[in-house]
Structure 1
């Protein structure tokens, strides 16, 4: 019996959709916090287990009879590490055999600018110390996030970001979901760490060039300086914490933290993942 947490989120839903053709629905459960969001899962035959990362008792009930748990990272930045610890401890108490976690692929924990990512490493530490068999899915930045990074008016204004010529092997979230589902469905032992990345790295200059080609109009990329970029974000009324987070992401990209290509995603998919051109064509419907 497999339990997928965050079952109604984007990644959780994708994983479940790829699991269902491989396993009987009776062997698949989804952890849901909001009962109103459970109907879609129930219609697919997925067992719904109600629980919250903040409620250890509910997590214990949700894990009854479960052998594998996939912990999808929570979104409450202030409480995320404790929430994840609650899931790990509940899995220990319930006799779960294996736990997976959707982490992040970053080269050097000691030098990263985006300290929000430290919570992922702390969760990894807790899982390693738990005594459970585990797999860490270190996911690269979703290609799906590119429209948010480059802005809604990218075809009118181009791309203006403080990422220098830093590169990222972007990958589509749906393909990461498919790969993780394949690991969950497999009978054999899983690797302790998977780096789920695209097959090539791309800079934002590359993103601009592909958008230019797909749209048939020039989309320039201008590497911004951090002070001017920060001032622009604040002028738009963004809170300081959000500004810091965006700059942290861009600084890590500029410094090469994300630039690590792995064959793991391609191997789990049994094909090459979508290229930047293929992904952007899909995302922008071009």
Structure 2
């Protein structure tokens, strides 16, 4: 039995969709906060457990008879580590055979500007200290996030304006990461394993602009922004200062090369090359 937490989120959905193609539905369970968002899972016969990362009893109930638990990182960044610890503690109490976690592939966590990313590595340390057999999935930035980064369809009128310098990212589609994770969860694994799920090539925002130009037939340019004016602009759009700093910190880490990691793990788990930038943007923008 495999329990997927955060199962109605985008990555959780991608993983479960792939698991349904690999194992009987009776072997799949989902941990969700809101049953109304799990209607499709229920229709497919997936066992549903209701609860939150802040409710240890609901976690303990959900883990009864489970062999593997996939902990998908929570979205409450301020409380994420504590919530993840609740999941890991429940897994240890239930004596599950393997815990898996969706972390982040970053070059040097000790030099991060966006310190909230440290929560992923604190979670990894807590998993390792638990004594449970583990599989860690350190994921690169989703290619699916590019439209959000560059302003959606407005990019074709305004171009790309970000303080990312010449920083490169080994972008990969979320759906392919979900497929790779499902493949790993359904294979026989001994010992502790860490996968770094990245694309097979890294790209700068110059490359993104070139790809969007070729796909759309419209001229898209990338202008590297200065950090301070960019952050001021975000605040001027109505974002809280703390949120603006998080965004600029995230993009600064890209500029500093934190996301420029290329590993073969995603390709190996997929059994094929991950989707390249042009094809991925074509899918995302429906061009």
Q: Give the TM-score normalised by the residue count of structure 2.
A: 0.98
Q: Determine the C-alpha separation between the residues in 2 that align with 1:128 and 1:60.
A: 20
Q: Determine the C-alpha separation between the residues in 2 that align with 1:86 and 1:47.
A: 21
For 1:20, the equivalent position in structure 2 comes to 20
Counterpart mapping for 1:158-197 below 5 A: 158-189=159-190, 192-197=193-198
Counterpart mapping for 1:62-73 below 5 A: 62-73=62-73
1:134-159, Cα deviation, whole Å (9 max, x unpaired): 01100000000001110131000100
Q: Determine the C-alpha separation between the residues in 1 that align with 2:191 and 2:208.
A: 34
- Following superposition, the deviation at residue 187 of structure 1 comes to 2.5
- Following superposition, the deviation at residue 191 of structure 1 comes to 5.4
Q: Determine the C-alpha separation between the residues in 2 that align with 1:188 and 1:73.
A: 22
Q: Determine the C-alpha separation between the residues in 2 that align with 1:260 and 1:33.
A: 33
Q: Secondary structure at the match of 2:3?
A: strand
- Following superposition, the deviation at residue 241 of structure 1 comes to 1.7
1:138–1:195 contact (8 Å) kept in structure 2: yes
- Following superposition, the deviation at residue 22 of structure 1 comes to 0.7
Is structure 2 residue 89 aligned with structure 1 residue 89?
A: yes
- Following superposition, the deviation at residue 236 of structure 1 comes to 0.8
For 1:140, the equivalent position in structure 2 comes to 140
1:139-184, Cα deviation, whole Å (9 max, x unpaired): 0000000011101310001000000000001000000000000011
2:177–2:266 contact (8 Å) kept in structure 1: yes
Q: 1:223 to 1:273 in 2, by over 3 A?
A: same
Q: Secondary structure at the match of 2:110?
A: coil
CA-based RMSD: 0.9
For 2:241, the equivalent position in structure 1 comes to 240
Counterpart mapping for 1:37-48 below 5 A: 37-48=37-48
1:21-75, Cα deviation, whole Å (9 max, x unpaired): 1101001100011121232111111111122100001100000000100000001
Q: 1:74 to 1:139 in 2, by over 3 A?
A: same
Q: Which runs of 5+ in 2 are unaligned?
A: none
1:183–1:190 contact (8 Å) kept in structure 2: no
- Following superposition, the deviation at residue 275 of structure 1 comes to 0.2
Q: Determine the C-alpha separation between the residues in 1 that align with 2:202 and 2:40.
A: 36
1:158–1:220 contact (8 Å) kept in structure 2: yes
Q: Determine the C-alpha separation between the residues in 1 that align with 2:170 and 2:244.
A: 24
Q: Determine the C-alpha separation between the residues in 2 that align with 1:194 and 1:128.
A: 15
- Following superposition, the deviation at residue 190 of structure 1 comes to 6.7
1:171–1:273 contact (8 Å) kept in structure 2: yes
Ranges of 4+ aligned residues in structure 1 off by more than 2 Å: 187-191
1:58-104, Cα deviation, whole Å (9 max, x unpaired): 10000000010000000111211000000000000001010000000
Q: Determine the C-alpha separation between the residues in 1 that align with 2:266 and 2:141.
A: 13
